[in-house]
Chains A and B, each alone.
Chain A
């Protein structure tokens, strides 16, 4: 597995503002994934972040709303832009450190938008 950390662990934000979530891994990984987990729901993939290329977004998620950076092989950020209460969720990053499809998750960022 890998040691994955996220910052912040939680935040309460006002509508219309933006929040950047950081994901740090203790080893170099090719792909990093960003998921959203709405309260009491399953996990939905937002985008796949590859180092050196544009992130690949899933249907229903757009770059203007969820811009992603991937400056190196151990770090990525997800920004939730122009937030509304509907963005209140847990946001998790995950990695596949051994290229075996086994994905391991970070601890998540619990976002509440007022």
Chain B
């Protein structure tokens, strides 16, 4: 089955700096890669996703890039703000997996003032 690795496990940045979180996946057939943000005590919230036919996608301060050859994808947050502080999870879906999400281990992002 699919295996997703995520780095780093913790990330601390100064407000206004950029943050990058990286994930690798094992199944070359995987075709959908979402990113979730989970604030303390809250549900995971879908913030951006990318499909395998696209190399990059942006939504205001967040962007995701996908390198199918290397089987890795990254989340980029620019001009970070304190409200960006949360745990971020990457995930992947492989076509043969029945639409199930395989999650990375999560990245605790802390944006410091």
Contacts and interface: CB of A to CB of B under 8 A. Distances in A.
B34 A102 contact: yes
B100 interface: yes
Interface residues of B, number: 20
Given A42-B89, A42-B104, A42-B106, A101 B99 contact: yes
A20 B82 CA distance: 37
Interface in B66-80: none
Given A101-B32, A102-B34, A48 B100 contact: yes
A79 interface: no
Contacts of B45: 105
B98 A48 contact: yes
A92 interface: yes
Contacts of B49: 101-102
A31 B46 contact: no
Contact of B99 (A31, A44, A104, A105): A31
Interface centre among A41, A94, A105 (most CB of B within 10 A): A105
A106 B43 contact: yes
Contact of A103 (B46, B98, B105): B46
Interface in A27-61: 31, 33, 41-45, 48, 56, 58
B89 A43 contact: yes
A45 B43 CA distance: 15
Contacts of A44: 103
A56 B44 contact: no
A21 to B, nearest CB: 14
Given A45-B100, A48-B98, A101-B99, 18 more contacts: A33-B101, A41-B105, A42-B103, A42-B105, A43-B44, A43-B101, A44-B103, A45-B101, A45-B102, A48-B99, A56-B98, A58-B100, A101-B32, A102-B34, A102-B49, A103-B34, A103-B46, A107-B42
Nearest to A59: B1
Given A103-B34, A105-B43, A106-B43, A33 B100 contact: yes
Contacts of B19: none
Contact of B43 (A48, A58, A92): A92
